[in-house]
Amino acid sequence: MSGLVLASCSPRRSELLHRLGLSFRTDAPDVDEECSLPAPEAVSLLSRRKASACAVRNPGCTILAADTLVALEDKILGKPADADDAVRMLHLLSGRSHQVYTGVTVISPDGQILTGYDRTDVTFDTISDEEILSYVRSGDPLDKAGAYGLQGRAGMWITHISGSESSVIGLPLYLVRSLLTRSGFPLVREIDLNQTIKG
C-alpha cells in the first residue's frame, strides 16, 4: 500500500487538503488526546501521536496528522465537554484576542518523522449572550477547539487574524506543503497527475 493518508476524520481538514490538489485517503486512529504541556508542545506531541498510530496501520504510506488547540492567556481551550462548556469558552473569547496553535506531523514511508506547528492570533468582537446561546444551540461549536469554527457563523465575530487562516480551520497549508516537500513526497507530480485539463 502507498500514497498519502490523512490521520483525521475531520471534514474541514479533508476539504483543506483537497485545495492542494492531492489524492489521499483518511484513517483516523483513536489516540489519547490528554496532554498537560503548553499549547505549542501539546499540538506537536498530539499530532505525532496521531501520525505514529496511523503509520502502524498503513505501512508504506506517507502519513499526515494535525492537532489544533486554542489558548487564551496561556490557558488551553480544547473541544468543549458540553453546551455549557461551549458557552463558557465563547464568553471568555468575547471581545479579546487569543491564539490558535496547530501542530502538523508527516511520517514518510521510510519512517522519517517531521513535525512543526503554527501560531495564529485571532481577535473577537464583543458577542452578545443571545448570539452565543443561539450559536451553541446550533451544535456547530461542540466538536471544535475553542468552541468555534472560523468557516461557520463564528466568522462574523472575528475582527482580525494575524497568521494562517487555514491553520485556524485546522490545517496550515503552508506548513503541510513544507513538511511534505521535506519528507520527499512528490507534491508537484501528485498535483499534476490529478489536474483536470479543460479545453
CA–CA distance, 67 with 44 (Å, rounded to integer):
7
Question: Has residue 193 got a pLDDT over 70?
Answer: no
Position 148 scores a pLDDT of: 94
Average pLDDT over residues 164-192: 89
Question: Has residue 190 got a pLDDT over 80?
Answer: no
- Strand-pair partners of 119: 101
Compute the mean pLDDT over every residue in the chain, rounded to the nearest whole number.
91
Band the pLDDT of 197: cuts 50, 70, 90: very low
Question: Quick one: which of 86, 84, 62, 198 has its CA closest to 145?
Answer: 86
| Cell, residue 163 | 497568521
Active site residue 67: yes
pLDDT tens-place string over residues 100-125: 999 999 999 999 999 999 999 999 99
Position 191 scores a pLDDT of: 60
Position 198 scores a pLDDT of: 46
Provide the 10 A C-beta neighbour count for residue 82.
Answer: 10
Helices (H) and strands (E) in the chain, counts: 7, 7
| Cell, residue 186 | 512528490
Question: Has residue 55 got a pLDDT over 90?
Answer: yes
Average pLDDT over residues 60-84: 94
**Residue 96 gets which letter from DSSP?**
S
Average pLDDT over residues 29-34: 82
Average pLDDT over residues 58-76: 94
| Cell, residue 35 | 496532554
Average pLDDT over residues 52-66: 96
Provide the 10 A C-beta neighbour count for residue 190.
Answer: 18
Task: Give the pTM.
Answer: 0.88
pLDDT tens-place string over residues 36-47: 899 999 999 999
Q: What does the domain layout of the chain look like in residue ranges? A: 4-194
- Set 27, 67, 82, 129: catalytic member: 67
Share of the chain above pLDDT 70, in %: 93
Domain 4-194 has CATH 3.90.950.10: yes
